[in-house]
Amino acid sequence: MDPQELKLYNFIQYRNEMVPVVGIKLQNDYRNHLIQIRHNDHVISIDSKELKPVKLTTKLMSKLGFEECYHSDSRIRYHLSDVAKYDFDLTDSKFLEGLVYCGHYIKCQYLHQLQNLYFILTGEELKILESA
């Protein structure tokens, strides 16, 4: 995972838990980047090599407020208040998978990528709903 893709409040995986990024310290030598995360109500600094991206899943989409609006043998589409659509391609090609914007697919398979795209398009953070 490239730590330069991260921004504050992105969610990433640390020890099988999804945690938010609350600080980023990129080093000049590009080897020892420190990422500050909120873990168990504490802010801790972790070497970026210990962190993993969170893979987007259908279960996660509902936690993000997306609702399933189409399902076939080859594709599942989710939408979020007509602001964003995301398709999961169920075929081996994965050609039609990603965020759908103006009829084009923007490839993103991880939560932090979707959060960044959503912020760029709307100017708002993509929230994770605790109740979902």
Run of H or E residues at 44: strand 42-47
Count of CB atoms within 10 A of residue 46's CB?
A: 18
pLDDT at 4: 87
How much is the average pLDDT of 93-108? 91
Asked if 111 contacts 56 with a C-beta cutoff of 8 angstroms, the reply is yes
pLDDT at 81: 82
Give the pLDDT confidence of 12-54 residue by residue, as tens digits: 999 999 999 999 987 766 667 899 999 999 999 999 999 999 9
pLDDT at 116: 96
pLDDT at 30: 61
Instruction: Kindly give the pairing relationship between strand 34-39 and strand 42-47.
Output: antiparallel
pLDDT at 94: 87
pLDDT at 130: 73
How much is the average pLDDT of 74-86? 91
Instruction: Kindly give the pairing relationship between strand 98-101 and strand 104-106.
Output: antiparallel
- Taking the C-alpha atoms of residue 36 and residue 46, their distance in angstroms, rounded to an integer, is 6
Mean pLDDT computed over every residue of the chain: 91
Asked if 35 contacts 49 with a C-beta cutoff of 8 angstroms, the reply is no
Q: Sheet harboring 104-106: ordered strands across?
A: 67-71, 75-80, 84-89, 98-101, 104-106
